[in-house]
Every structure is written in structure tokens, then in C-alpha cells.
Structure 1
């Protein structure tokens, strides 16, 4: 592909990429192959950039392995704010093309993961720590710091049937429900870890000294166990597909089998999620993105 550099309208590029190959060139471009060139590729499965021109000559590699055959977006967003900046002698000015829904950086924040209303994230069950085999058990721990509105908090399922087992936020309570049948509710105490533990014949929902047990029908966890045996098994966070959710919440951490999950490693997620920060009160930032 040849670009007319005098007609380029943006300084950024983005694309989705997948491969099983651990090494090779994704993109190479130059204005002079000896003096001015740029290369993006993989080395040992991880991204590497090489740049060579009159101002800079460097090679740098970073990030997770991408040679897993899955689609990856190569432009991860940084969760942060800038202010009082001078760039090349010029004061920062908001561009007319800047999206109107960017959140205000005046909002006081703290570390965490913030899901504004209607946002979601999705992990493949094959990409997170696996259940114990004998006896079969799987646990999820959520550090809830802020909660507002009603809607899904978490679900296990597939893209076609996303709520085989789910946690639903309602009136400052969390409701645990199987795919069909009655669920159970637990009043929330913010600041204490909320734990969901799956066993062969029951699901335990606990927070602090409070514990609720949901006995499973005679088939037990059979259908849910199959989620780990198929590529379509998913862990959903936030609003489910097609759900009109008003729920917003902040997590100080999310753990599967005792290991912290990295939101930047999600299979896909809403760009409006604040991956490393939370507003200090539920009313701040719930209708804005990051």
C-alpha cells in the first residue's frame, strides 16, 4: 500500500490482528529504506517496534504474547488524565473533534475498575485460572466499592446464552440466579469482598459473615461445567447483550481462583470502562466515558 503523506488526515492508525505465528513483520513503511523507516512486528509472540530516522533510532518490545490465534486490538487505551500541559510551546486546547462524552478529569478518583451504566467486559473462560478438579470447585471474588442502579454485575454463559448463572444488582442487594428458577439475595456491604463459590451441587454467595447457599437441581452443575469444555464459555461483567442496565459499580479488584484478572486482557470490553480508576462517589462519572 502506498500513502500520499501530504493527504494523511490522522496521526494514528488502528486495526485488529490475529496469528499463530510467533515471529514476523506486521507492518513496514519507509520514505527512504536506508535513512527513514518504521517496522511493527512480533518477536517471540510479543509486539516489537523498530524506528530509524534522523531524530530517533530504537527497537522496543513490550506487552503480552499475541500469537494465540485470537483477535487483538493493538491500540490499548491508557486510563489517565492530563492537565496544565504545554506541548511544543503551545497550551493544550480541546479539539472540536473531541468526543463530547469524554469524562471530566475534575472528578476525584481512586484506584479501581469502574463500570459506568451500560458498559460490559467479556473474558474467555479458557483464558482465566481453571477450576480445581477434585473436588470440582471454582471461585470468583469481587471487591465492590461503589454500587448504583440495577442490572447485571456478573454472569457465566455463552454469547448465545449469557446468563446460565448470574449476579444481578438491585436495591443495594446482589441477587444470585441460575439460568432458570428462583435465586437468592444478599444485602451488600461495600468494602468487603463478595465471593461466589461453585461446587458440584451448590453455589455459595458470601460477604463477610453473611453466607447464602443456592442448592442446584438434580442435574447439578452439569450444564455450567460444560462451559469450561467449549471455546464459547464466557465470564461476563456488567450489562449483558441487549440489556437496558442502569447499574454502575466500582471494583477494587476482581479475582478468579485467587488470581487477579487484568481488565486490559479482556476478550472485549466497552471503551467507556475506567480500567484503573474509580470516582469517589456513585454520582460522579456514571454517564461519562474515559
Structure 2
């Protein structure tokens, strides 16, 4: 492709990329091959930018591996806060995008973690997260709750079209484990120590240290749970389920599947106003800036 710079009226570009190749050039452009050029490519499966002109010479690589044969858009979102903004010429601004106008305010103080405001959700494909042990069949989830308020789902296992097969909910300062077969178990809400959910052929076990309280929930149909991992629609849901009027808001200092921490940026889908890498110090109304 060749572009006439005198006719360009737009300074941004976007595209989707799919490749199994871990190394190569995606885009190269120059005004003078010896003095002014730009390269976007992959090195070891990760994006890399090289730029050379009379002002700067740099090479930068970052981000997750993209050489997995799936479609990727090279525009990663950033979880951060802005304040004291002064954008170009305010009088020349003609419109504000719908996304910008819906952004939530920042907390006055923040800490590392993941914040789910009320009604937000994220989905992971069960085929994209660490798989259960085979013999004997076992799967574990560890959920680190820093802050929690309201009532609603924290996580669930199931498919988008059907009620969850197994779920963990926040209700009246309790954590409630329930299954599609009917029974449920309550555990007093304690912030800080990770909640551990262990699944096996004999049932589901919910525990939390240092009290080491253990609640066992028998599973009437364990075969249905195993099937979730072999069908493409199997999901791990975080936060509100589709169609749920949830008032639950919570902060996680981590979510681990089979001992491996999940990256919220790698979710199959998620609400745009989830804070992927930060949490407010409290769930009050103190704000400072734009998120």
C-alpha cells in the first residue's frame, strides 16, 4: 500500500491480525529509508515497534503473545486514572464520544487489584484457562476478596444459554455456594484470605483460611460439570450474570485457576467499566479525576 501524505486527514489506523508466525514484519513505512522509518512487527510472538528519525531512535516490545492463530486487534485498553486534564483547544472540541461520557470517576486513593462495579461482568472460556487434573478429576479456584458490598454473583460455572451449574454469590455479608441441583452452603464473609473452591467427582468444597472452615456440597450430577470443559460454550463467569439485577460490587486482589493467576485482559469478554488493574481503597463516594 502506498499513501499520499498530502491527502491524509486521519492520524490513526486499526486492523485485526491472525497468525501462527512468532516473528515478522506487520507494517513498515518511511519517508526516507535511510533517515525516517517505522516498523510494527512480532518478535517471539509479541508486538514490537521500531522507530527511527532525527528526533528519536527506539525499539519497544510489550504485550501478550499474539501467535496463537486467533484474531487480535492491536489496541489494548489501559486501566488508569487521569486528572488536571487540559486537552488541546477546549473551544475547538465539537463532541464527546459515548464511551468517554460514560466513564466512571476515579477513587481518591487506589490499590492494585480488579474492581467490579455493580452490574459488571467478565467471561472466560473454560478452554482458555488451566485445565482440571485428569486422575483423579479435580479443579480449584482461589478468589481473593479485598472489598465487597451489595448482593449478587461473584462467579459461576456454566454456559451463556442456561442457568449456572455452580455459583458463588454475595448475600447479606455471606458467601453462598449453590448448585443447579438445589442445595446451598453459607460461609460468613471474611475479606482478605482467599476463598478456595475445590471441585472433584465427590463434590464441591469451599474453604477459607486461617479459620480453615470447610463446607462440602455433594454434586448430584458430576458428569454435567465435567461436560462443561469439553464443549466450546463452557464459561467461567465473574460478576453479574446476563440479565441479573446485581447490586454487588467487589475488589479482587487475584483470581487463580489451578494455582495460575488469570489475566483480566485475556478475558473472552468483559464490561468496559471494570477496573482491570486497580481498586478503590473503599467503596464510598470519594472521587478524584476520570477513570
TM-score (norm 2): 0.83
2:199 paired residue number: 198
Residue 211 of structure 2 is aligned to residue 207 of structure 1:
no
- Describe the SS at the equivalent of 1:78: coil
1-side partners of 2:192 and 2:171: how far apart? 18
1:262 paired residue number: 263
Are the equivalent residues in 1 in contact too, given 2:38–2:51 (CA < 8 A)?
Answer: yes
* Distance change (3 Å), C-alpha of 1:198 and 1:263: same
Q: Deviations over 1:183-218 (max 9, x none)?
A: 22222112222111101021011223332211111x
1:100 paired residue number: 101
1:44 paired residue number: 44
- RMSD across aligned C-alpha pairs, in angstroms? 3.1
- Number of aligned pairs? 284
Are the equivalent residues in 2 in contact too, given 1:274–1:289 (CA < 8 A)?
Answer: no
Q: Structure 2: any 5+ residue segments left out of the alignment? A: none
Are the equivalent residues in 1 in contact too, given 2:106–2:290 (CA < 8 A)?
Answer: no
1:216 paired residue number: 219
1-side partners of 2:250 and 2:18: how far apart? 32
2-side partners of 1:70 and 1:162: how far apart? 29
The 5-angstrom pairing of residues 6-85 of structure 1 reads 11-83=11-83
Are the equivalent residues in 1 in contact too, given 2:41–2:48 (CA < 8 A)?
Answer: yes
Are the equivalent residues in 1 in contact too, given 2:81–2:290 (CA < 8 A)?
Answer: no
Are the equivalent residues in 2 in contact too, given 1:156–1:162 (CA < 8 A)?
Answer: no
- The Cα of 1:162 is off from its aligned counterpart by 6.5
- Describe the SS at the equivalent of 1:250: strand
Are the equivalent residues in 2 in contact too, given 1:107–1:284 (CA < 8 A)?
Answer: no
Q: Structure 1: any 5+ residue segments left out of the alignment? A: none
- Describe the SS at the equivalent of 1:232: coil
Are the equivalent residues in 2 in contact too, given 1:205–1:212 (CA < 8 A)?
Answer: yes
- The Cα of 1:122 is off from its aligned counterpart by 1.9
2:175 paired residue number: 174
2-side partners of 1:237 and 1:16: how far apart? 27
- Single out whichever of 45-54 and 9-18 deviates more from structure 2: 9-18
2:125 paired residue number: 124
* Distance change (3 Å), C-alpha of 1:38 and 1:138: same
